[in-house]
Amino acid sequence: EEITALVSLDMNGLKIINDSQGHAAGDEALTTLAVCFTRALGRKQSLYRVGGDEFVIVCRRVSHLEVAQLVERIERNLAETKYSCSIGYSYSLDGAKSIDTLLKESDNMMYAEKARYHKANEIEPLKRKYHKIGMLLSGGMDSSILASYLSGCDAYTFRFMGGAFQADELHRAERFAEYYGLTLHYVDISWESVTQQLPAVMRSKGGPVHSIEPQICQAALQAKQDGVDLMIIGDGSDYV
């Protein structure tokens, strides 16, 4: 039977649970969500886990109303727990859309919902709490997503001296800063600046460090001199 709808589901805050409470707590959260999703399923609707905290429901020969009712049942089930997830869905009236198209549409809706969740639950409280916020801005997509939440804040990006190393990434970061209305500051990186920060970083960590860590330290110290009292470093779109 043709697939007429997909529902994309992504748990909110799993990494925070794993980091603060342990992976057993994270597994419990995922199990709870899976039960919520399974209880909500109707006829010709199947649940699949496609990633660590990502699920997809495949719907065959269902109406648009049935998809909307499925989402409502999921939301009611989730409301009975302490967890939440971002939900998106796509629909094809005649089943003519490809699986790739359906998945792209449902994922796009889900990611938009996740962005609203992060902004309301994580970014806005930080803006109210701290006087001046800065972020470490790269040319990557995850950094761009984080930048979209922080319009009006200060951004710090690495500028490598003495060559064209990572010039493309620098140019992307500059475009992100302009597009999202960030005040951009350059953190000039050289071999001398890395070795200057390295001893203090190694003492603090008590062992070997990654080459990026002295650079992050340099950016944080520069931001502190500029009056920034919270520096945000995003290493993934689901984690700040």
Angle among Cα 7, 9, 13 to the nearest 5 degrees reads 165
Out of 17-21, 71-75, 157-161, 167-171, the most confident range is: 71-75
Q: What digits encode the pLDDT tens for the residues 142-168? A: 788 788 888 889 999 999 876 655 788
Considering only residues 138 and 141, tell me which one the structure prediction assigns the higher pLDDT.
138
Would you place residue 234 in the very low, low, confident or very high pLDDT band (cuts 50, 70, 90)? low
CA-wise closest residue to 236 among 88, 118, 151: 118
The answer to whether 38 touches 29, Cβ cutoff 8 Å, is: no
Residue type at position 8: S
Q: Is the pLDDT of residue 240 over 70?
A: no
How far is it, in rounded angstroms, from Cα 171 to Cα 65?
Answer: 46
- Closest listed residue to residue 46, CA positions, set 5, 13, 75: 5
pLDDT at residue 126 in the model: 83
Full-model pTM: 0.64
Give dist(CA 103, CA 98) in Å, integer. Answer: 9
